[in-house]
Structure 1
Amino acid sequence: MRLRNALVVLAAVTGLAAASLSISLAAVPPPQPGTLTRYDITGTYVSGVSSGGYLANQLHVAYSSVFQGAGIFSAGAYDCAQNNLNTALYACMDTFQARKTPAELEQLTRNRAAAGTLDPPQNLSGDPVWLFHGSADDTVARVVNDDLATYYRDFGARVAYNNTTAAGHAWVSPIGPNACGATASPYVNKCGIDVVREMLGHLTGPVNAAASALSGKLVQFDQNAYVPGGNAASVSMGREGFAYVPRSCETGPCKLMVTLHGCYQYFGLVGNALLVSAYLNEYADTNNMIVLYPQATTMTGNPRGCWDWWGYQSPQYALKTGPQMTAVMNMVKALSAGGPPPTTTTTTTTTTPPVSECVTASNYAHTVAGRAYVTLGQTYALGSHQSLGLWNTFTTSTLRQASPNHWVKC
C-alpha cells in the first residue's frame, strides 16, 4: 500500500530500461560562490518533481503574471492538501480519503485571486503546461495527476500530458542513474526517451541539441539573503542554492527555468543528483536559458526535506505570501532585476491566542479531523508531534489547539 511512502518513496521498484539514446553527457562545473545578479530575462518558467512539482504549480498559479509555463512530474492540482497532512497523504498521494475536485479547487483559486492573495487565474489561459506521470508510479496516484491536467485545462492552459511512459516516481532524464521503473534514491530515471527535450519544446518552442560540454558557470549562492527574515533554515530551506548560467547569458537575452527537487532529493542528502542529471544544463547551454535550483532541507515536521505543499511550515504555503514562495520569487526577481531584496524592518504585535477547548476522541477520529497524523501505525499530534499511541478507533487522546495547525495534549 502506498501509505508507507509517507510523502516520499521508501522502497525501490525495479523496471526494465528502454533502448539507449544517443545523448550528450556534459560534466557540471564545480560551484563558484557568488550572488544572483541581473540578466536579460525574456521569459520565466518553472518545473519540478513530486513535492517540487506541487510547489511548481503553486508558484505558477500564485504568480501567473510572472511564470509563463510549467513542467511538472507527478503532482496534483493546486492546494489539493488543504493545509492538512492527512489530506496530503491519503487524498493527494493515495486516494483513501475524498479530495477536493478540480472544479472546487478552481473556485478556490478564483476566490483567493479576488482577495488578492493570488494573481488572476485568467493569466493561465494559453500558458504551456507539460505534465508527466509514469505508469509505474505508485507514489502519487494517476487520478491525482489527472486532476492537475483538468485544473489547468479548465483555466485554458495548453496542456501536454505524458502518462504512458513506464516510469516510477521520479524525474526522467536521458542521463538518469536509475532504471525507468524504479522508485528509489536519487529519483532520476532513464527511460530511453528524452522527455526533457519534450518538456522544453512544449514550454519554449523548438530546442537546439543539448551541449556535449558545458561552457557556463554554476553559481552557489546564500539563500538566507532571499528568505523573509534572513533565516533559510526557519522555512526548511538550505543555506546554499544554485544557478547554472551559460556563457551566452552573460551578454545576451536568456530565458529562466526555476527547477524544484522532490523529497529526499535536496543537495545535502542524496547529493547533487538532480542538478547533475536532470539534463537541463545541457539544454540551457545551447538554448540561452539560466536554470535556478533552489534547495529545501529538513526541519521539525519535514524530516525528509520536502517543499511545503501541505502546510508544515506555514498555513500560507500556497499563497503569494508563503515563506518558501516568497523566497523563490525573491531569487527570480534578483536574476531579473539584480541583487537580493532590500532588508526591511518590521514591527510585530504579539497577541496571546485564546486557549481552545480540549477535544477527546479516538486517535482515528483525530487524524480524520486533521488534529493528528499517523506514521507506521502510531499517532502523533499535528504540529507538536507528541505521541498519542496506536492509530485505531479504541485508543483515545485529548488535544487542544495551541495555534493554527498546532495541537498539543491537554
Structure 2
Amino acid sequence: MRAAVWRRYIVALIVAAAIDVSPLAAEPAGLRGYHAPIGESSISGISSGAFMAVQFGTAWSSVISGVGVVAGGPYWCAKADALDAVTGYWGPIWRATGACMKGPASDLDLRDFTAKADAKAAAGEIDALSNLGRQKIYLFHGYNDAIVDKAATDAAADFYRHYLGAANRGNLFYQTALGAGHSFVVTKEGAPGLNDCKANTEPYIDQCGYDQAGIILQHIYGRLNRPNPAQLAGSVKSFDQSLYTKPHLPDALSLGDTGYVFIPQDCEQGAPCRVHVALHGCKQDVGDIGRRFVDEAGYNAWADTNRLIILYPQTKTSPFAPGNPQACWDWWSYVDHEDSYVTKSGAQIRAIKAMLDALTAGAAAPANATEPSLSVPQWLTVIDTSDTGVDLAWSPVAGVTTYRVSRAGPDGAFQKIGDVTGASFAESGLTPQTTYRWRVSAILNGTEGPSSEDAIGTTQSPPPRCNNPGSCPIAR
C-alpha cells in the first residue's frame, strides 16, 4: 500500500514539474469583500485597457467616480454591428487598427459615439449618461506615441466634454505636453526592464520622471498622502478569475486564469477603503511581461498610504477563437461579434464588474456623517501642468461636496473661474509659460467659506511638432 502511494506521489511530482507548478502550491482563491463602497470606485487603463476603461466607466457610470485614459480613444470607437458586406470580414478589427489608432480626425465623428451611447442608455443597457457629468476624467497622449494617434485621444476628450458640459468642464484634465512613447509613464530612471521615455515597445512602461499613477488617483480622489519610500505595508494577492467569468471559462473570454489585487494593510484590517481598477494594455499581461505592470506602474505605493485597493484583472493571448493574439482588452467585439461589448452585458465588462462586486461586498452602512462646516480646504496643490492647462487637487473638507476655484494671472487679481464637485479641478485654455495662482473655498448651502492658501504653478512650453513619433526630442 505504501509503495502504491509513493508511486502516485512520484507521478504527481513528475507531472507538476512538467507544467512548472509545485504540487504543494495553493490554488488562488476568490476575492474577499472589504469595507469599500462601490460608488467610490474608479478605473483607468492604457491602450486597449484605456478603451476598456472608457467602456466600463460609461456602462457603469453609476458606480465609477473617475476614469483615467492613457493612449486610448472614445466609446464605441471601433464600432461593431455586422460583418463587412464587401469583404465578409469582421469590420471592427480593421477600424480598430485603422482610424481608432491612426486617425485621421475626420474618420472619428463624435456624433457616431454619442449616438451609440445615447441609444444604449435609452435601452437601459448602460447607466444614465447624466452620471458622466460628475466623473473625474484624466486623459493622456505622449507626443512620441507611434502606435495610437493623438486624434483618437482627442476624440475621447470630445466624447467626455459632450457629457460634462460647461458646468463640469473642470472635471477633465488632458495632458499632451509630455514626450512619452506609447506607454504607461513612471517616475523611475534607469530601472532595469523598463524603457526610456520615447520608447514604443514592451513592456510599454516608460521612465519619464512623471508619476502618472499618482496624478490619475489624485485627479479622481483629491490630494492624497505621499507614498512611503519604505517597503509597502500592503501586499499583492493573486485570485482565481474563473470565479468571475461564469458560466464561461476564462479562455472563452480571452481572460487569464489568475488576476491580481493590491490590498493595503489598513484595508485588510477593516478600515474604510476605495477600489481602483487598473487595466494593462496589449502585450502587458503577465503572460507577456510578467508582473511588471502590477508591480511597477506606481499604483501600489499610492494605494498603500491612502487606503486604496488596486484591482489588476488580466487578459491572455488567444490565437484561436476568440482571436486575440496580443492579449488586448475587447474593444472591437472579438468575443461575440455583437455591439453588447460596450454595455453592461459585455462579456469582459461583466467579469470586471463581478470582481468589483466581490471586493466591495463588505462595505458597511455609513457611520454618522461628520457635521459639515465651511473649513478652509487644505493642501491645495498643482499636481500636473501642460502647456495650456493645470490640474489642481486638495484635501476634501468633511461633509462638503462643492468648491469654488479662483485664479490670479500676471496682474495679481483673483477672479472666480468655476465651481466644482469633488476635490480636484482642471483648468484649460491658459497661456503657455505663464505663472498663475489659485485659491479654493468650500461652498455649503450657497455660502462660501474662507479661501485656502495659494497654490502656484507655471504652464509648460508648447510641445514641439512631432512628425516622426518615437524620435522627437523630450521637451520636459
Please give the range of the TM-score, normalised by the shorter of the 2 chains.
0.7 to 0.9
For residue 376 of structure 1, what is the aligned residue in structure 2? none
AA paired with 1:90?
G
User: Among 34, 38, 47, which residue is 1:39 paired with?
Assistant: 34
What is the alpha-carbon distance in structure 2 between the residues aligned to residue 106 and residue 97 of structure 1? Answer: 16
User: Among 249, 256, 262, which residue is 1:244 paired with?
Assistant: 262
Query: Displacement of 1:94 after TM fit?
Result: 1.1
Determine whether 1:333 maps to 2:357: yes
AA paired with 1:320?
K
- Do the aligned partners of 1:34 and 1:219 also contact (CA within 8 Å) in 2? no
- Do the aligned partners of 2:49 and 2:329 also contact (CA within 8 Å) in 1? yes
Query: Displacement of 1:98 after TM fit?
Result: 5.6
For residue 88 of structure 1, what is the aligned residue in structure 2? 96
Unaligned runs of 5+ in 2: 1-25, 81-91, 364-476
AA paired with 2:312?
Y
For residue 252 of structure 2, what is the aligned residue in structure 1? 234
Deviations 1:177-229 (A, max 9, x none): 21111111100111012232221111110011112211112111110000031
- Do the aligned partners of 1:35 and 1:219 also contact (CA within 8 Å) in 2? no
Q: 1:107-122 maps to which residues of 2 (within 5 A)? A: 107-122=115-130
What is the alpha-carbon distance in structure 1 between the residues aligned to residue 105 and residue 297 of structure 2? Answer: 33
What is the alpha-carbon distance in structure 2 between the residues aligned to residue 298 and residue 97 of structure 1? Answer: 30
**TM-score for the superposition, normalised by structure 2:** 0.63
For residue 352 of structure 1, what is the aligned residue in structure 2? none
* Distance change >3 Å, CA 159–CA 97, structure 1 → 2: closer
For residue 70 of structure 2, what is the aligned residue in structure 1? 73
For residue 289 of structure 1, what is the aligned residue in structure 2? 308
What is the alpha-carbon distance in structure 2 between the residues aligned to residue 111 and residue 132 of structure 1? Answer: 28
Determine whether 1:318 maps to 2:342: yes
Greater Rg over alpha carbons, structure: 2
Identify the range of structure 1 (38-47 vs 290-299) with the bigger mean alpha-carbon deviation. 38-47
For residue 151 of structure 1, what is the aligned residue in structure 2? 159
Deviations 1:109-133 (A, max 9, x none): 1111001111111000021001111
User: Among 307, 313, 329, which residue is 1:307 paired with?
Assistant: 329
Determine whether 1:50 maps to 2:55: no
- Do the aligned partners of 1:77 and 1:105 also contact (CA within 8 Å) in 2? yes
- Do the aligned partners of 2:30 and 2:241 also contact (CA within 8 Å) in 1? no
For residue 172 of structure 1, what is the aligned residue in structure 2? 185
What is the alpha-carbon distance in structure 2 between the residues aligned to residue 310 and residue 61 of structure 1? Answer: 16
- How many residue pairs align between the two structures? 310
Which SS does the other structure have where 1:186 is aligned?
A: coil
Q: 1:349-360 maps to which residues of 2 (within 5 A)? A: none
What is the alpha-carbon distance in structure 2 between the residues aligned to residue 126 and residue 330 of structure 1? Answer: 23
For residue 192 of structure 1, what is the aligned residue in structure 2? 209
AA paired with 1:75?
G
* Distance change >3 Å, CA 96–CA 151, structure 1 → 2: closer
For residue 256 of structure 1, what is the aligned residue in structure 2? 275
- Do the aligned partners of 1:90 and 1:97 also contact (CA within 8 Å) in 2? no
Q: CA RMSD, aligned part only?
A: 1.9
User: Among 233, 243, 252, which residue is 1:215 paired with?
Assistant: 233
What is the alpha-carbon distance in structure 1 between the residues aligned to residue 46 and residue 298 of structure 2? Answer: 14
What is the alpha-carbon distance in structure 2 between the residues aligned to residue 142 and residue 172 of structure 1? Answer: 16
What is the alpha-carbon distance in structure 1 between the residues aligned to residue 176 and residue 111 of structure 2? Answer: 22
Which SS does the other structure have where 1:269 is aligned?
A: helix
For residue 384 of structure 1, what is the aligned residue in structure 2? none
What is the alpha-carbon distance in structure 2 between the residues aligned to residue 253 and residue 50 of structure 1? Answer: 31
Unaligned runs of 5+ in 1: 1-30, 340-410
Deviations 1:130-151 (A, max 9, x none): 1111010021110110010111
For residue 393 of structure 1, what is the aligned residue in structure 2? none
AA paired with 1:258?
V
Which SS does the other structure have where 1:290 is aligned?
A: strand
Query: Displacement of 1:169 after TM fit?
Result: 0.2
- Do the aligned partners of 1:58 and 1:319 also contact (CA within 8 Å) in 2? yes
What is the alpha-carbon distance in structure 1 between the residues aligned to residue 131 and residue 302 of structure 2? Answer: 27
Which SS does the other structure have where 1:242 is aligned?
A: strand
Query: Displacement of 1:262 after TM fit?
Result: 0.4
- Do the aligned partners of 2:138 and 2:219 also contact (CA within 8 Å) in 1? yes
4+ long deviations beyond 4 Å? none
Which SS does the other structure have where 1:72 is aligned?
A: strand
Identity between Structure 1 and Structure 2 (%): 36
**TM-score for the superposition, normalised by structure 1:** 0.73
- Do the aligned partners of 2:184 and 2:212 also contact (CA within 8 Å) in 1? no
Query: Displacement of 1:338 after TM fit?
Result: 5.5
What is the alpha-carbon distance in structure 1 between the residues aligned to residue 267 and residue 141 of structure 2? Answer: 32
What is the alpha-carbon distance in structure 2 between the residues aligned to residue 253 and residue 97 of structure 1? Answer: 44
Determine whether 1:101 maps to 2:112: no
